[in-house]
Amino acid sequence: MTTMTERWEQLVRFLRDIRIELKKVNWPPRKEVMGSTIVVIVSVFILSFFLGIVDVSLQKLIAYVLK
């Protein structure tokens, strides 16, 4: 069974390792992140608009068939 001090040491070692790994990350520039975010948001709006049109069309088609 591990003692409280061993658990604390494990936590400190884990957090130290995280810090070391984060320094190795190649972070993209802010401009690139903003551009990618805008592309994703626009794509989501276009796809949701398309799916909305398909949904309404299928609703009307099913209502017509069932009449």
**pLDDT of the chain, 67 residues: tens digit per residue:** 678 889 999 999 999 999 999 999 999 999 999 999 999 999 999 999 999 999 999 999 999 999 8
Token pair recorded at residue 47 = 């796809």
The DSSP element (H or E) to which 66 belongs, if any, is helix 30-66
pTM of this prediction exceeds 0.85: no
Tabulate helix, strand, coil % of the chain (nearest 5).
85, 0, 15
Exposure string (b/e) for 15-54, b if CB count within 10 Å is 16 or more? eeeeeeeeeeeeeeeeeeeeeeeeeeeeeeeeeeeeeeee
**3 state DSSP class of 47:** helix
